[in-house]
């Protein structure tokens, strides 16, 4: 008799139903950080997380205008990193001079929850699904397929002062930021932002692109 294949970390966590431990705020669904971490530790006792600090030993990074946190969750030797802007209750970046320790704490907890999602736990929530993959497949077997028309996401206003750089040059900046390089003492995102006059939307895309590279590695 063939031995059953052991599930991967992702398969295990991606199959956990998190619906009873979420709450909705401003139309978005949030997963409880405490519950998420408890579920990870129950299945993988050796898992651990890291809150990254800047050169001054503070748990955030900034571009002089806004700031973001960087966290990582490691399970069975694999670390997934998440970057998250420090935002208000409307999910807008908070100006640096107005950020409080409570804002920072909330951002760190949300970032860690998203880092755990990269390992599979609650990932279906961020993908806009109602159930984890295994339960969704089972439900689909019992119900006739229905086509649902999805409304296109609203497009954000572009920053009129934004001066985009050539794609190849932009990728070089993203790669440099992902590898932790600096230029004349400045983080690469700061250098890029000053060169392009990037707004909040462009900065978020830059951070997402940096996170994608770190995630791949």
**121-125 LR contacts (CB < 8 Å, sep 24+):** 121/13, 121/14, 121/16, 121/18, 121/36, 121/39, 121/40, 122/16, 122/18, 122/22, 122/31, 122/36, 123/13, 123/14, 124/14, 125/18, 125/22, 125/29, 125/31
184 torsion bin: left (phi>0), alpha (psi -120 to 50), beta (else)? left
Over residues 129-141, the mean pLDDT reads: 53
Q: Worst-scoring range by mean pLDDT, 7-21, 97-111, 155-169?
A: 155-169
What tens digit of pLDDT does each residue of 55-111 get? 999 999 999 999 999 999 999 999 999 999 999 988 899 999 999 999 999 999 999
Q: Give residue 153's pLDDT.
A: 46
């Amino acid at each position: 008799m063939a031995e059953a294949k052991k599930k991967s970390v992702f398969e295990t966590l991606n199959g956990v139903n998190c619906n009873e431990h979420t709450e909705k705020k401003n139309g978005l669904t949030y997963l409880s950080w405490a519950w998420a971490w408890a579920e990870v530790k129950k299945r993988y006792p050796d898992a651990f997380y890291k809150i990254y600090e800047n050169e001054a030993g503070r748990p955030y990074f900034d571009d002089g205008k806004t700031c973001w946190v960087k966290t990582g969750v490691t399970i069975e030797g694999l670390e997934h990193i998440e970057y998250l802007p420090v935002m208000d209750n409307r999910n807008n970046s908070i100006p640096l001079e107005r950020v409080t320790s409570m804002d920072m704490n909330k951002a760190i907890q949300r970032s860690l929850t998203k880092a755990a999602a990269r390992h599979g736990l609650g990932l279906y929530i961020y993908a806009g699904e109602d159930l984890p993959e295994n339960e969704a497949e089972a439900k689909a077997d019992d119900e006739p397929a229905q086509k649902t028309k999805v409304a296109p996401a609203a497009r954000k206003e572009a920053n009129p002062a934004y001066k985009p750089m050539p794609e190849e040059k932009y990728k070089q900046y993203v790669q440099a930021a992902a590898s932790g390089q600096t230029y004349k003492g400045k983080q690469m995102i700061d250098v890029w932002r000053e060169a392009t006059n990037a707004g909040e939307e462009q900065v978020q895309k830059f951070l997402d692109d940096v996170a994608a590279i770190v995630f791949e590695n």
